[in-house]
Amino acid sequence: MAWLTAELNRHIYAYHVMDAPTIPDAEYDRMFRELQDLEAAHPEAASLDSPTSRVGATPIPEFKQVTHTVPMLSLNNGFSPEDVDNFDRRVREGLGVEQVDYNGELKFDGLAVSLRYEDGVFVQAGTRGDGATGEDVTVNIRTIRAIPLRLHGDAVPSVLEVRGEVLMYKADFAKLNQRQRDAGQKEYANPRNAAAGSLRQLDSRITSSRNLSFFSYGIGALEGAAMPESHSALLDWLAALGLPVSKERAVVTGAAGLMDYFTDIGKRRAGLAYEIDGVVYKVDRIEDQRKLGFISRAPRFAMAHKFPAEEALTEVLDIGVQVGRTGAITPVARLAPVFVGGVTIENATLHNESEVRRKDIRIGDTVIVRRAGDVIPEVVAYVPERRPANVREFVMPANCPVCGSAIVRPEDEAVARCSGGWTHCSAQKKGGLMHFVSRRAIDVEGLGDQLIEQLVDKGVIQTAADLYALDQDKLCALDRMATKSAQNVLAALEKSKDTTLARFIYALGIRNVGESTAKALAQHFGNLDALLHAAAFEGGIQLLEVADVGPVVARSIAEFLTDPENAALVAQLRTHLHWKEGAHVMKPTGALAGKTFVLTGTLPTLSRDEAAALIEAAGGKVSGSVSKKTAYVVAGDDAGSKLAKAQELGIAILDEGDLQALLKSSSTEPE
Ligand code: IVH
């Protein structure tokens, strides 16, 4: 039993802390059941750190209280470079020194807990509560696989209180909400709420099923071991004791070092597997921390540098609709202006009608809006406690607000559409043109949305082909258009004529044809006429031969290209644009032919786009998700769930060097 306990704990650590599984799941399960059986027969011999205690226990009526012997404090917040300068200045003045080393670490967006270990064995856990007393969540914390039930090594302190944050990975959050949805249960608004809701379950078996995670960032009480001399050494020590500590930390010098760390983490934030709401700076030398001490409830030696809030509360003033380039009608919440994610938001998408019903958002509700990074703002959920009696439900209009054509919603589709088409509906016309000129399509630099609005509204252009009939006089007649800008636009249009077949297909804006399908079509057919013929032949049946093209996509392509107005546009456009036409189908050969790659994490030198382009040029395909069909996963720093999935499925994992070597050994030749 002791052997199985130690062995299973070792595998749990490898899997949940080191991200490097050591045995197949089935073998783990077999050993686990064996230990369970032995413990049932000899309960007196079960160890306190047995992994079988991680599945949760019988529900309790309420949480007991725990008192924190060393209080759990909070941090002072800062938001700007000035705040960072002031913090560093106060620290330097307080210590009477010229320069200070800091430990920069992540500000995890979860909930704080304190874990108590006695003689290396986990004995109690409490939430922060009011800082002095919290709730006893020992049984629930036990279910978190990343938290060791026994500390590693022989030299363990007699008492150690580990402080850290319980959180839920983004991928686990998505899975949990999917399960909640499938079960008709309420979804969680964000990973932090999900983590809190999952930890504070009176039935710890539910907590056990939620896959929570944990990162350590400090300690409370410590007895029977020397305190390390620096905070960074303390974190190293915690990691050596088997506790999860994020790798995203660095010792930096001065305010400039802090700002560099902040900027660097800000860039990598979206790629992290879990959410953070800023970074935390701590004076590295423990002796200096003691000298600086505390002011009211926060340390003078630390500061949280927060990112602008990504979520805020505001009121839904109305729900209108927007018409997309394919005619899709999107309900949009008109909001009381609110500052979130660094900008003021007045509109947020509600995606589609079913989504409005599912989230039950009504006019008059107070809602959580979210804007993360460059992602478009969205309404996450309404706040039930703030729903007034006179809320109104959204009604999908019968007619397009832009062109008046009927709005239709096929029974098997989630999306309602304007039936006018781009020739009748100026919203679709504008959307189509904006897509056509966008960077990944035909790429006309400097031809922005407002210019297209004006060109369409003033009737200067009707179609993408008309763009190439623009001249200086036509452009200069527009508002706010100087000669120089007009010349730039014309030069960009000229430059855009030299393109590729894949870009051209993508630029047409055919529904369901994204960049990768466009590339597959270009590669399969080699030239435009071959594609047009296939689209016109028996409802596009030949299109199904193209990898990735199923019946729905084939139908969109066939319908689009055989529509007389679209066909006329394509014919006009090809007189302006030119690309290399393949005489016959190019089939990639070489090491990468037909192989699907998944990219994850940050590679040392290549950007994601660059890596994808190299793989595709060598005949490979790049996909966004790992499945049995994936041939290779190329993993860089901060690779998260995709890497774990690849390891689970036994898929070959490459680093950038391996990829470069593989690329060298492959080539593309005509068949
Ligand atoms: S240190 C004495 N470090 O932020 C300082 N806190 O506002 C105690 N948090 O309640 C906190 N990441 O929940 C510290 N790397 C980090 C943190 C962190 C997140 C949370 C923690 C705390 C709150 C303080």
Is residue 213 within 8 A of residue 144, CB to CB? The reply is: yes
Measured from the Cα of 109, ligand 1's closest atom is 19
For residue 342, report the distance from its CA to the centre of ligand 1, in Å. Answer: 23
Q: Is 1.10.150.20 the CATH number for 420-496? A: yes
Measured from the Cα of 299, ligand 1's closest atom is 2
Pairwise pLDDT comparison (655 vs 640), residue with the higher score: 655
Measured from the Cα of 279, ligand 1's closest atom is 15
126: Cβ contacts below 8 Å, ≥ 6 apart: 66, 68, 113, 114, 116, 133, 134, 135, 136, 137
Percent of the chain past pLDDT 90, that is, above it, reads 75
For residue 75, report the distance from its CA to the centre of ligand 1, in Å. Answer: 6
Cα 361 to Cα 366: distance, rounded to the nearest angstrom: 9
For residue 107, report the distance from its CA to the centre of ligand 1, in Å. Answer: 7
605: Cβ contacts below 8 Å, ≥ 6 apart: 656
Pairwise pLDDT comparison (318 vs 57), residue with the higher score: 318
**DSSP state letter for 514:** -
Query: What is the amino acid identity at position 579?
Result: W
What does the block give as tokens for 387?
Answer: 């729903």
Element (H, E) at 378: strand 378-382
Cα 51 to Cα 258: distance, rounded to the nearest angstrom: 40
Pocket test for ligand 1, best of 75, 192, 269 (most atoms within 8 A of CB): 75
pLDDT value of residue 590: 56
CA-proximal residue: ligand 1, atom 2 (nearest): 73
CA distances from 238 to 125, 144, 164, 189, 233 (A): 17, 17, 11, 32, 9
CA-proximal residue: ligand 1, atom 13 (nearest): 112
pLDDT at 234 over 60: yes
pLDDT value of residue 639: 84
pLDDT value of residue 585: 52
Measured from the Cα of 77, ligand 1's closest atom is 7
223: Cβ contacts below 8 Å, ≥ 6 apart: 157, 158, 159, 160
pLDDT value of residue 624: 85
Give the predicted TM-score (pTM) of the model.
0.67
Range list of H helices, 293-352: none
Measured from the Cα of 298, ligand 1's closest atom is 2
φ/ψ (deg, to 5) at 585: -60, 130
Q: What fold does the segment set 2-54 form as a domain?
A: Helix Hairpins (1.10.287)
Cα 467 to Cα 431: distance, rounded to the nearest angstrom: 14
CA-proximal residue: ligand 1, atom 17 (nearest): 107
CA distances from 572 to 530, 567, 575, 576 (A): 17, 9, 5, 7
For residue 85, report the distance from its CA to the centre of ligand 1, in Å. Answer: 20
> Domain map of the chain by residue range?
2-54, 77-306, 309-419, 420-496, 501-584, 586-670
What does the block give as tokens for 548?
Answer: 């990735």
Note whether 420-496 and 501-584 share their fold: yes
CA-proximal residue: ligand 1, atom 14 (nearest): 217
DSSP one-letter string for 400-438: -TTT-PBEE--TT-S-EEETTHHHH-HHHHHHHHHHHHS
Question: Which residues are catalytic, by number?
Answer: 107
What average pLDDT does this structure show over 252-270? Answer: 96
For residue 217, report the distance from its CA to the centre of ligand 1, in Å. Answer: 7
CA-proximal residue: ligand 1, atom 23 (nearest): 74
pLDDT value of residue 671: 30
Over the range 177-189, which residues count as b (16 or more CB within 10 Å of their CB) and which as e? beeeeeeeeebbb
Pocket test for ligand 1, best of 275, 280, 282 (most atoms within 8 A of CB): 280
Question: What mean pLDDT is reported for the chain?
Answer: 92
Q: Where are the beta strands (DSSP E) in 25-155?
A: 65-67, 77-78, 101-108, 111-118, 121-127, 133-135
Range list of H helices, 327-425: 353-359, 421-424
For residue 221, report the distance from its CA to the centre of ligand 1, in Å. Answer: 16
pLDDT value of residue 341: 82
- Please write the tens of the pLDDT for every residue from 397-417: 999 999 999 999 988 888 899
pLDDT value of residue 588: 52
Collapsing DSSP to helix, strand or coil, 561 comes out as helix
pLDDT at 21 over 90: no
Measured from the Cα of 302, ligand 1's closest atom is 5
pLDDT value of residue 668: 43
CA distances from 64 to 61, 68, 133, 165, 472 (A): 10, 13, 10, 20, 77
For residue 614, report the distance from its CA to the centre of ligand 1, in Å. Answer: 42
- How large is the angle between the packed helices 564-576 and 528-536, nearest 10 degrees? 170
Pocket test for ligand 1, best of 114, 165, 249 (most atoms within 8 A of CB): 165
Q: Find tokens 């839904």 and name the residue.
A: 316
Q: 3-state SS of 89-103? A: HHHHHHHCCCCCEEE
For residue 72, report the distance from its CA to the centre of ligand 1, in Å. Answer: 9
pLDDT at 251 over 50: yes
Is residue 320 within 8 A of residue 331, CB to CB? The reply is: yes
Q: Where are the beta strands (DSSP E) in 128-183?
A: 133-135, 159-167
379: Cβ contacts below 8 Å, ≥ 6 apart: 316, 333, 348, 349, 350, 359, 361, 367, 368, 369, 370
Q: Find tokens 């922060």 and name the residue.
A: 128
CA distances from 29 to 289, 323, 668 (A): 46, 52, 45
CA-proximal residue: ligand 1, atom 9 (nearest): 107
With cut-offs at 50, 70 and 90, classify the pLDDT of residue 663. Answer: confident
- Please write the tens of the pLDDT for every residue from 415-454: 899 999 988 999 999 999 999 999 999 999 989 999 999 9
With cut-offs at 50, 70 and 90, classify the pLDDT of residue 613. Answer: confident
119: Cβ contacts below 8 Å, ≥ 6 apart: 156, 158
- Please write the tens of the pLDDT for every residue from 484-540: 999 999 999 999 999 999 999 999 999 999 999 999 999 999 999 999 999 998 889
Give the residue from 70, 71, 68, 78 showing the smallest Cα distance to 302.
78
CA distances from 69 to 134, 219, 227 (A): 11, 12, 17
Q: Any idea which architecture 77-306 has in CATH?
A: 2-Layer Sandwich (3.30)
Collapsing DSSP to helix, strand or coil, 256 comes out as helix
Cα 250 to Cα 280: distance, rounded to the nearest angstrom: 11
Give the residue from 44, 164, 51 showing the smallest Cα distance to 106.
164
Pocket test for ligand 1, best of 108, 231, 261, 262 (most atoms within 8 A of CB): 108
Give the residue from 221, 217, 216, 176 showing the smallest Cα distance to 194.
176
CA-angle at 653, arms to 649 and 657, nearest 5°: 175
Q: How many CB atoms lie within 10 A of CB 277?
A: 19
Cα 244 to Cα 242: distance, rounded to the nearest angstrom: 7
Percent of the chain past pLDDT 70, that is, above it, reads 97
pLDDT value of residue 670: 39
CA-proximal residue: ligand 1, atom 12 (nearest): 107
Task: Match domain 501-584 to its CATH number in 3.20.10.10, 3.30.460.10, 1.10.150.20, 1.10.10.10.
Answer: 1.10.150.20
Ligand 1 pocket list (CB less than 6 A): 73-75, 105-108, 112, 128, 165, 217-218, 280, 299, 302, 304
What does the block give as tokens for 48?
Answer: 């306190």
Q: Any idea which architecture 586-670 has in CATH?
A: 3-Layer(aba) Sandwich (3.40)
Pocket test for ligand 1, best of 70, 74, 114 (most atoms within 8 A of CB): 74
Measured from the Cα of 165, ligand 1's closest atom is 13
With cut-offs at 50, 70 and 90, classify the pLDDT of residue 666. Answer: low
pLDDT at 669 over 60: no
231-236, Cβ contacts within 8 angstroms, sequence gap of 24 or more: 231/103, 231/282, 231/283, 231/284, 231/285, 231/286, 231/289, 232/103, 232/284, 234/286, 235/103, 235/105
Task: Match domain 309-419 to its CATH number in 3.40.190.80, 3.40.47.10, 2.40.50.140, 3.40.50.10710.
Answer: 2.40.50.140
Measured from the Cα of 112, ligand 1's closest atom is 13
pLDDT at 478 over 80: yes
- Please write the tens of the pLDDT for every residue from 138-180: 999 999 999 999 999 988 999 999 999 999 999 999 999 999 9
With cut-offs at 50, 70 and 90, classify the pLDDT of residue 270. Answer: confident
- Please write the tens of the pLDDT for every residue from 61-110: 999 999 999 999 999 999 999 999 999 999 999 999 999 999 999 999 99
Cα 460 to Cα 477: distance, rounded to the nearest angstrom: 10
- Please write the tens of the pLDDT for every residue from 538-591: 889 889 988 878 889 999 999 999 999 999 999 999 999 999 887 545 455 556
For residue 218, report the distance from its CA to the centre of ligand 1, in Å. Answer: 9
DSSP one-letter string for 590-611: STTTT-EEEEESB-SS--HHHH
- Please write the tens of the pLDDT for every residue from 320-367: 999 999 999 999 999 999 998 888 999 999 999 989 999 999 999 999
For residue 284, report the distance from its CA to the centre of ligand 1, in Å. Answer: 15
